[in-house]
Structure 1
Amino acid sequence: MEGIGNNREIFEYTSGRWIYNEPRRLAERHLAFDIEELKNVATKAVNRSPSDVNSFSKLAEGGFNRVFDISMKDGSCVLARLPYPSTLPRRLAVASEVATLEFVRAHGIPAPRVLGYSVDDNNVGSEYILMEKLPGKSLGDVWYDLPDKSRLKILLQIVELETKLFKADLPASGSIYHSRDLSPDIPRVDIPGSEDGLCIGPYAALRWWVGERGNLDIDRGPHEDPRLVLQAPAEKELAWIRAYGRPRYPFDRAYRETFDYKRQDPEEHIESLQEYIRLAPHLVPICSKLSLPVLRHPDLNPNNIFVSEDLTITGLIDWQHSLVLPTFLAAGIPKIFQNYNDEASMSFTPPRLAENIESMPEDERDIALEQFRRRHVHFFYLGFTQKLNESHWRAIEQETGLLKRRIYDDAGSPWEGLNLPLQNDIANVSQNWSKVATASADGTPPACPIVLDEQEVQRRASLDDSLRETDSEMERINGMLGVASDGWTPNETFESAKERARFIKEEGLAAVADDPWLKEMSDKHWPFDDCDEDE
């Protein structure tokens, strides 16, 4: 293997910096591997010789993978995608993405063609996927500057592609694999009509494997019964907390003031998970079509959408951690297109620009234009879905669909010292039980298995309001600093972001100088300082 010191640019993360806990983020992304062997397997995949390689360069790197461009002397190239050692689940993440790419391509979705792959690190020193380079450019380069008609062209194509996936026949929930990549002891359900041994196997989403969860002897799917789909993530978290849980602070340090800087008890979350499991069987829709398994792209943001010069979609990339879920759980507007916190969007009201938009002060005009853009995208994604994708629309228009998806997500989220989201979901479900629960044969819902008094419901709602206010404030501060929610910032703004963070801390501590205890706690739990993420 080539020396690490000579290949720092190749083996290390260099696309940005973190203003706190940077050593940990960099260690997670450090990957030393055999460059020459990677070139060998890449050229072999396209019937070339290693001597045909003209250049080897890092093309991109993200939170889970690094991509290299291996260009040939004739101008062709192979892309090599290598997961970081911290990317989970090992083997299965690569195996599932390879099979998922084959599945979506077979159903008319433009996606990279896989040229070769390895689910182990025996030869190159890392798992890898070799794939063709898609034509076009990332939509992320232009998305926020597009005129209205161009956005509509993109949205229409996205909904058309999603419609193809919603029509695909899948037998169970889980993730897609080639049977050959699963050991004999791993459960699987064959996909009907697959010519290359595709099947549904265990869930490949990170939440099933993060921390010590990969060590647990639990049911990770596949599941043909939607009731098991609903219950399994909570059972997973119960098993983890019982084996490894201990009191800890909420991971998001900005939340800790809401809880008086006290460690949260995992026993509270155990109670909520058990309550959720009692509620879960009643969340399955009575209409069986809403429980049909469907595959969706796990992160359909503009950076994962490639387009030509005329804005025709040429490919969707990054299918890692993809899931097949019942339609009522898979449904919803992709995060980048949704505007759920806006009343006008939630009422499906056609968006209109303010009549006085041109005479507004520049800062007000920018806010109004961004509000219109978000409403415009949300509205027309729904409109195209209503017209073209009946099964998705039927799931989206369910009155309590959002609540069901939220409680399912919160019940399966890895516990990191925050009990409130699931507690508040349970309160909302119990308050809306007649709308949420599947009715019995005589048309009446069963009695809700969880009963909360009004005072407890209000307590949870009040705490939830506090966390929402914190989210808004942190979004504002992150914007001022120019950092992402995890403290990431481009290389060129790192020093200025660190300096602004230092200044904000001085101001913040000065504001509570009259309260020694609060100042001490604010200093100890300051969200932009290095910290122990496991305390």
Structure 2
Amino acid sequence: MLDPKSLMKDLESELFNYTTGRFLANNALRLRERRRVFDIPGLFKIITKALPCKTEEIVDFRKLGEGGLNCTFLITLDTGFQLVARIPYPILIPKAYTLASEVATMDFLRFKGLPIPKVYAYSFTSKNEAEAEYILMEYAEGVDLSQIWFDLKEGEVISLMDQLAKVESTMMSMSFPAGGSIYYARDLKELSGNEGIPLEDDSEGIPLDEQIESKSLEKERFCMGPDVSVPLWYGRREQLDVFRGPYEDAKSVLVTGAKKELAYLDQFGSPRAPYQRFRREYYNYEKQPPSDHADNLRRYLCLAPSLVPDDDSLNTFCIRHPDLTDSNIKISIDSSGLQILSVLDWQHAAVLPLFLHAGMPDVIQNEEDEVSRGMTEPKLPDDFDKLPEEEQEWEMELLRRRLVHYHYNLSTAAYNRIHHKGLVYPLNTFRRRIFNHATAVWEGETIKLLYALMDMVFGWASFANDGTPCPVVFTEDEKAAAVQLYEALGNAEMGERMLMDGVGYGEETWVPAAHYEKAKAFGQEMKQMTLKACAEDEETTEETYAVIETNWPLDDMDEEELEEYK
């Protein structure tokens, strides 16, 4: 019999610590942010009540995986039945709202017939026997699509893109009375004091057993409440008493993020250097005033109403997966082909106007490629058999990217006309881009928002068909300065991509744990090579050399400085 108390003897075990990866910069801090000690015997008691079962029937408890914001554990009973416990890291924000919303979103979509794991129990506070927030859910059978993603044949790509388009069509066809995020009304009342905007009790198309299950959960009805999108809550923004939904219309969505950021800058704004240290050179390593970004946010608010599409069907509220990647899809592999079994990870899901949801998932889109942009049917080059092996491998990978992009578009056109209409709507990519820049947290720069504002101002005729004059004006000199900085920063992005590819790190300087020591050493070698080149440059002063050394992107940043960006 498994003794849960024995699992608590070593609080430094992998059960409580992040072990999958390391971070080349601020490793100790990043690991601390992902460490979560919880009461395992208490969790076992919760499991026995939720299933129900007896503690002695639990024969195995082990870590299943570590994500960006959560750790998952696999629990096995003596009958062979398995379930998953997911516990968030301290860095999950806004923790209670996000967890409550994710559970309600999963239940709502599951009851609508989508392939979503069943939730057995949850708590959005740590005031429970496990002393941690948690979700107990059905174990999703199958294989992660990520395990075969790079080996898919064209027929498999077509089948999976068809299935995905149908799943998204079901999702995006659901109607909502408002925007925001989904909650159980009882949970939202406990969190905020109100019950949100109720969703209609629409059980059409839901299997009878799931209708009965839904009614037996003894929870309040679903409702729309505050949007749990991260930029609205990040860091000290969570302390702000600002509107975050539910939204009554598209315009409300467009302006809420910018108003939130203005409130943040007013209360917490202070001069700061760009967070991305590769970009600081182009600002002469000087701290940037928050007033510049505040000015651009106010300009955006003047223009935002004109971003609302004239076609009302594009302004209807709908839901979509918040981060659809190959690792969030479980599939079966058998003689009948690949089948989507489950779609996972629904935290931070939001109900937004269709035009803001329309777009290809990052793991699928290949817009940087001319063939994909032109929607030309992909094929291997005619001389493929004569190419060296290394070039053949590259051409095969390029073909795979193009096939996924191409067939996702075709499948969406065939099975999800609602989404396809948003994909092809004029300037819709731009609408999403400027909205995202205006909603994003301020990290010491405003150039992305400024550049998008100038695109809109100088292309105003595309947004104001009635001849209304643009309420924002930029001079040609202002435009020239912005273009110069924007293009110069392209060099910074190129340099950072080269460093990332060379050293082999990802977001937040993450590397696999086994690669850490080698990557750390190589990163420092690259730093010394860079400093040596600077020293040999006659134009480099001692002051410049010192500044470059201090701002090396793979060195630790002072934790007090990091706090400024929250």
Number of aligned residue pairs: give it: 530
1:81 pairs with 61, 81, 86, which one?
86
1:486 aligns to what SS in structure 2?
helix
Match in the other structure for 2:404: 377
1:459 aligns to what SS in structure 2?
helix
2:150 aligns to what SS in structure 1?
helix
- Please, which moves more after superposition, 292-301 or 469-478? 469-478
Query: Which amino acid letter does the alignment assign opposite residue 521 of structure 1?
Result: V
Quick one: distance in 1 between partners of 2:444 and 2:165? 38
Paired residues of 1:162 and 1:296 also in contact (CA < 8 A): yes
2:196 pairs with 179, 188, 193, which one?
188
Quick one: distance in 1 between partners of 2:178 and 2:391? 49
Q: Closer, same or farther in 2 for the Cα pair 1:409/1:24, shift >3 Å?
A: same
Q: 1:307: Cα distance to partner?
A: 0.3
Q: Closer, same or farther in 2 for the Cα pair 1:149/1:464, shift >3 Å?
A: farther
Match in the other structure for 1:306: 330
Match in the other structure for 1:246: 270
Match in the other structure for 2:136: 130
1:80 aligns to what SS in structure 2?
strand
Match in the other structure for 1:147: 153
Quick one: distance in 2 between partners of 1:477 and 1:357? 31
Paired residues of 1:187 and 1:222 also in contact (CA < 8 A): no
- Please, which moves more after superposition, 169-178 or 179-188? 179-188
Mapped pair 1:408 → 2:416: no
Match in the other structure for 1:339: 366
Paired residues of 1:53 and 1:73 also in contact (CA < 8 A): yes
Q: Closer, same or farther in 2 for the Cα pair 1:509/1:4, shift >3 Å?
A: farther
Paired residues of 2:356 and 2:432 also in contact (CA < 8 A): yes
Mapped pair 1:35 → 2:40: yes
Quick one: distance in 2 between partners of 1:340 and 1:431? 24
Mapped pair 1:157 → 2:163: yes
TM-score, with length taken from structure 2 = 0.91
Q: Closer, same or farther in 2 for the Cα pair 1:158/1:282, shift >3 Å?
A: same
Q: Which runs of 5+ in 1 are unaligned?
A: none
Query: Which amino acid letter does the alignment assign opposite residue 153 of structure 1?
Result: S
Quick one: distance in 2 between partners of 1:470 and 1:367? 26
- Please, which moves more after superposition, 446-455 or 276-285? 446-455
Q: 1:91: Cα distance to partner?
A: 1.2
TM-score, with length taken from structure 1 = 0.96
Mapped pair 1:518 → 2:544: yes
Q: 1:62: Cα distance to partner?
A: 1.3
What's the CA shift string for 1:369-428, capped at 9, x where partnerless? 333322222221111111211111111111200111000001000111121110111011
Q: How does 1:471-510 map to 2 (within 5 A)?
A: 471-510=493-532
Mapped pair 1:328 → 2:355: yes
1:182 aligns to what SS in structure 2?
helix
Quick one: distance in 2 between partners of 1:203 and 1:178? 14
Query: Which amino acid letter does the alignment assign opposite residue 196 of structure 2?
Result: R
Query: Which amino acid letter does the alignment assign opposite residue 269 of structure 1?
Result: H
Q: How does 1:378-397 map to 2 (within 5 A)?
A: 378-397=405-424
Match in the other structure for 1:279: 303
Match in the other structure for 2:182: 176
Query: Which amino acid letter does the alignment assign opposite residue 238 of structure 2?
Result: G
Q: 1:154: Cα distance to partner?
A: 1.3
Q: Closer, same or farther in 2 for the Cα pair 1:277/1:186, shift >3 Å?
A: farther
Quick one: distance in 2 between partners of 1:355 and 1:519? 51
Q: 1:468: Cα distance to partner?
A: 2.9
Percent of pairs identical after alignment? 35
Q: 1:172: Cα distance to partner?
A: 1.1
1:420 pairs with 433, 447, 462, which one?
447
2:314 pairs with 287, 290, 293, which one?
290
1:9 aligns to what SS in structure 2?
coil
- Please, which moves more after superposition, 145-154 or 365-374? 365-374
Query: Which amino acid letter does the alignment assign opposite residue 424 of structure 1?
Result: Y
Paired residues of 1:400 and 1:436 also in contact (CA < 8 A): no
Paired residues of 2:71 and 2:88 also in contact (CA < 8 A): yes
Quick one: distance in 1 between partners of 2:553 and 2:409? 37
Match in the other structure for 2:377: 350
Paired residues of 2:152 and 2:400 also in contact (CA < 8 A): no
Match in the other structure for 1:434: 461
- Please, which moves more after superposition, 395-404 or 449-458? 449-458
Query: Which amino acid letter does the alignment assign opposite residue 508 of structure 1?
Result: T
Quick one: distance in 1 between partners of 2:274 and 2:30? 19
Q: CA RMSD in A?
A: 1.7
Q: 1:7: Cα distance to partner?
A: 5.0
What's the CA shift string for 1:478-533, capped at 9, x where partnerless? 12212113111111111111111111111111111131333222111101111122
Q: Closer, same or farther in 2 for the Cα pair 1:263/1:186, shift >3 Å?
A: farther
Query: Which amino acid letter does the alignment assign opposite residue 216 of structure 1?
Result: L
Match in the other structure for 2:474: 452
Query: Which amino acid letter does the alignment assign opposite residue 408 of structure 2?
Result: Y
Q: 1:447: Cα distance to partner?
A: 1.3
2:338 aligns to what SS in structure 1?
coil
Query: Which amino acid letter does the alignment assign opposite residue 152 of structure 1?
Result: I
Query: Which amino acid letter does the alignment assign opposite residue 519 of structure 1?
Result: Y
Q: 1:460: Cα distance to partner?
A: 1.8
Query: Which amino acid letter does the alignment assign opposite residue 28 of structure 1?
Result: E
Paired residues of 1:478 and 1:485 also in contact (CA < 8 A): no
1:54 aligns to what SS in structure 2?
strand
Query: Which amino acid letter does the alignment assign opposite residue 502 of structure 2?
Result: M
Match in the other structure for 1:528: 554
Query: Which amino acid letter does the alignment assign opposite residue 548 of structure 2?
Result: S
1:512 aligns to what SS in structure 2?
helix
Paired residues of 1:17 and 1:488 also in contact (CA < 8 A): yes
1:449 aligns to what SS in structure 2?
coil
Quick one: distance in 1 between partners of 2:111 and 2:491? 45
